[in-house]
Structure 1
């Protein structure tokens, strides 16, 4: 089942240096967060890699502000995708090492992904808008 669901995932894009940093982070956190680490490593492995100057402007990268809709409940959220030490849910900064954070990285405006939440339930996350950090 996991393989079928991964096959349905949309193409994603990452910055080369972020992919390297995220790989190191996911490997370092495998014991503490095995599910999220595995999901993030899968996403990195299937991503098309770009230099920071060549990545399309509408791609979710680290420190992007992204508006997305959780299709399960129709809720729209705008968050900044950050590294774990900078996370502050009250301030709208979510960690890449959360299920939602790992699901958003690399997506483009208009794309959706079927992604597991903390309880293992599949949810469709749809990207509405991306504002990249300058």
Structure 2
């Protein structure tokens, strides 16, 4: 019976990169996720999942190379090779014409807490899966 169990194909699971969140942003992020639960439950759940698995640190211990609210981040889409630079902001400061991306967008949630060099999967609003790499955090 044991041999039958070992013959089954292992399930592939992509391990999510480690993330770090600034403790000063935590309450606001949780409130945003709770508020978005009615409008966009999938995105709200994703944000809450990211918060739940994050290491929460004081502002003094927040690494400079990790994406947090207010940081400018350059990332590369591995399928196209294109690089994009955006600033991660709270929704009230979002302005895509100035590359200010809300934390309440799929890419905003995906970027939160990632360090330079992290590779992650991102599902676009058109349900396309992309692999992105964080190049630089400023």
- For normalisation by structure 2, the TM-score amounts to 0.87
Alignment pair present for 1:118 and 2:110: no
Structure 1: stretches of 5+ with no match in the other structure: none
Give the superposed CA RMSD.
Answer: 1.4
1:89 Cα offset (Å): 0.5
Give the Cα–Cα distance (whole angstroms) in 2 for the partners of residues 37 and 75 of structure 1. Answer: 28
Structure 2: stretches of 5+ with no match in the other structure: 1-12
Give the Cα–Cα distance (whole angstroms) in 2 for the partners of residues 43 and 115 of structure 1. Answer: 13
What is the aligned partner in structure 2 of residue 31 from structure 1?
Answer: 38
Give the Cα–Cα distance (whole angstroms) in 2 for the partners of residues 64 and 70 of structure 1. Answer: 19
Alignment pair present for 1:57 and 2:80: no
Alignment of 1:42-81 (within 5 A): 42-81=49-88
1:75 Cα offset (Å): 1.5
Moved over 6 A (4+): none
Larger radius of gyration: 2
Alignment of 1:13-32 (within 5 A): 13-32=20-39
Structure 1 residue matching 2:61: 3-state secondary structure: coil
Give the Cα–Cα distance (whole angstroms) in 2 for the partners of residues 72 and 19 of structure 1. Answer: 32
- For normalisation by structure 1, the TM-score amounts to 0.90
1:15 Cα offset (Å): 0.7
User: How many pairs does the alignment contain?
Assistant: 127
